[in-house]
C-alpha cells in the first residue's frame, strides 16, 4: 500500500526509515496516524527529525502505536509517569542500554514499542544501532529453525548488569534518586521464536542481555546456542544505525528488533526522554 500523507526515506536495506512531512506537536488526522503505525510495522524503526515535544505530548504521540505505560525501575518526569529521562553526564563511564537487547524482555508482557526523544545529544557519537530479528530468523537454515522451534527462554531483569539493579541505576550519577525502590527483580519465560501479533511474522526473541538459559536446560548447556543466535541477530546486513540530533524522535518495535546504545561520547552530555508501550505475552 502506498503512503499518502507521509514521506518515507529508508535508512538501510534491512530496516529503518525517516518519516518526513509530519509535525508531531501538531494535530493530524486518522490517516496520518494509521500510516505512521503502518510504517512502524513495515520498517521496524522509524524516526522524525526537528520535533519539539514536551513529556505529555510525547506520551500522546506514543499512543498512536498503543497504550503508554510507566517503566518499572524509573520515576516519571514533569508529572507524567509514562515518560522518564535517560541522562549521561560527562563524568559517567557507563551508559543506559549499552548492550544488544529488546526492552523489558524479562516482563510477563514485555513492552511492545519504545518512543525515544533526543533532548540534548553530544556533538558526535551516541548513536543507536538496531537489528531486525525477523530477518535474522528468516535467514536461518531449516535445520536450525526446527531445532529452536518450541524452545523457551528464561529472561531475567538482573542478567544485563553484573551487580544487579544497583549497578544499572547507581552507575549513572544523574539517575540517582530516580530508582523506584518498590519494584522487584523480574523473571519471565518466553518463546525463543515469537510470532508478531499484528503481522504474523516470526522473529528471534533471545539475547545475551536478558536470556539466562532455556527452560529445562542448564545455563552451561544453553549458553553456546544463546550466543550463536544473539550473534546471528546482529550481523551487519540485518542492522541500521541512527545518528541522533536534538529534536529527533525514534519509534521501534520491540517485538521484532533489538537495539544497542553506543557509548562513545565520554566527556559529553546526553539527555533523552523515553516512553514505552504496553505489550502482550509473546507466543
Euclidean distance between CA atoms 217 and 253, whole angstroms: 29
pLDDT in tens, 160-192: 654 444 444 444 333 333 334 345 678 999 999
Q: What pLDDT does residue 151 have?
A: 98
**Strand-pair partners of 251:** 46, 115
Residues 6+ apart with CB under 8 A from 144: none
Of 1, 46, 77, give the one whose Cα is nearest residue 275. 77
Query: Is the pLDDT assigned to residue 95 strictly greater than 60?
Result: yes
H-helix or E-strand spanning residue 138: helix 133-138
Euclidean distance between CA atoms 119 and 272, whole angstroms: 5
Residues 106 and 156: beta-carbon distance below 8 Å:
yes
Backbone angles phi, psi at 55, to 5 degrees: -60, -40
CA distances from residue 193 to 30, 84, 101, 130, 157 in whole angstroms, order as listed: 33, 30, 15, 18, 20
User: What predicted TM-score, i.e. pTM, was given to this entire model?
Assistant: 0.91
pLDDT in tens, 200-221: 999 999 999 999 999 999 999 9
pLDDT in tens, 98-109: 899 999 999 999
Q: Write out the three cell numbers for 5.
A: 500523507
Q: What pLDDT does residue 183 have?
A: 54
pLDDT in tens, 225-261: 999 999 999 999 999 999 999 999 999 999 999 999 9
Domains of the chain in start order, with CATH, are 7-277 (3.60.130.10)
Residues 6+ apart with CB under 8 A from 167: 161
Amino acid at each position: 500500500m502506498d503512503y499518502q500523507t507521509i514521506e518515507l526515506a529508508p535508512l538501510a536495506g534491512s530496516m529503518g526509515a525517516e518519516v518526513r512531512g509530519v509535525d508531531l506537536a501538531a494535530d493530524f488526522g486518522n490517516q496520518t496516524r494509521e500510516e505512521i503505525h503502518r510504517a512502524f510495522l513495515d520498517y521496524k524503526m522509524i524516526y522524525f527529525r526537528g520535533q519539539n515535544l514536551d513529556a505529555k505530548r510525547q506520551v500522546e504521540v506514543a499512543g498512536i502505536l498503543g497504550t503508554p505505560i510507566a517503566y518499572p525501575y524509573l520515576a516519571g518526569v514533569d508529572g507524567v509517569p509514562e515518560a522518564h529521562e535517560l541522562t549521561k553526564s560527562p563524568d559517567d563511564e557507563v551508559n543506559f542500554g549499552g548492550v544488544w537487547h529488546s526492552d523489558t524482555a524479562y516482563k510477563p508482557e514485555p513492552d511492545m514499542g519504545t518512543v525515544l526523544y533526543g533532548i540534548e545529544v553530544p556533538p558526535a557519537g551516541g548513536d543507536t544501532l538496531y537489528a531486525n530479528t525477523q530477518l535474522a530468523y528468516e535467514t536461518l537454515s531449516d535445520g536450525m529453525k526446527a531445532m529452536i522451534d518450541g524452545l523457551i527462554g528464561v529472561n531475567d531483569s538482573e542478567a544485563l548488569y553484573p551487580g544487579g539493579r544497583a549497578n544499572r541505576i547507581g552507575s549513572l550519577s544523574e539517575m540517582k534518586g530516580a530508582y523506584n525502590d518498590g519494584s522487584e527483580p523480574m523473571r519471565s519465560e518466553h518463546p525463543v521464536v515469537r510470532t508478531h501479533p499484528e503481522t504474523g511474522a516470526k522473529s528471534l526473541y533471545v539475547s545475551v542481555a536478558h536470556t539466562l538459559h532455556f527452560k529445562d536446560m542448564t545455563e552451561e548447556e544453553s549458553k553456546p546456542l544463546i550466543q550463536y543466535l544473539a550473534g546471528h541477530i546482529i550481523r551487519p546486513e540485518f542492522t541500521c544505525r541512527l545518528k541522533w540530533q536534538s529534536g529527533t524522535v525514534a519509534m521501534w518495535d520491540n517485538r521484532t528488533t533489538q537495539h544497542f546504545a553506543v557509548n562513545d561520547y565520554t566527556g559529553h552530555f546526553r539527555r533523552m526522554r523515553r516512553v514505552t508501550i504496553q505489550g502482550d505475552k509473546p507466543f
